[in-house]
Amino acid sequence: ISRAYGGAHSSLSITYTLSPASTLSVQDAIAHKLVSASDADPHAKLETLGEVWIETELVEALYTQGRETETLGKWERVLNGRER
């Protein structure tokens, strides 16, 4: 699954593979986090893109180890600001 996100000053393309049950929630989480970063502040936008990239790498690493439940829980905590 590939998705491109971005705004006037920055963009990010992410490719990842998840089970059908978890794909939608992760896509929504990525999109929500990027949209919430203001295009009026390029530095903040790029910082957010960097965070999402790191989080995506984490999701892929955990998922390939067969830890789907932990992966989604980690995503929820990160995206709700309770964990980094």
Which of 10-14, 38-42, 51-55 shows the highest mean pLDDT? 51-55
Whole-number Å distance between alpha carbons of 24 and 46: 24
Q: How far is CA 37 from CA 40, 63, 77, in A?
A: 9, 26, 18
Read off the pLDDT of each residue in 73-82 and give the average, rounded to a whole number: 61
What local confidence, expressed as pLDDT, does residue 84 receive? Answer: 46
Does residue 19 surpass a pLDDT of 50? yes
For the chain, what percent of residues have pLDDT higher than 90? 0
pTM across the whole model = 0.28
Structural domain spans, the chain: 2-79
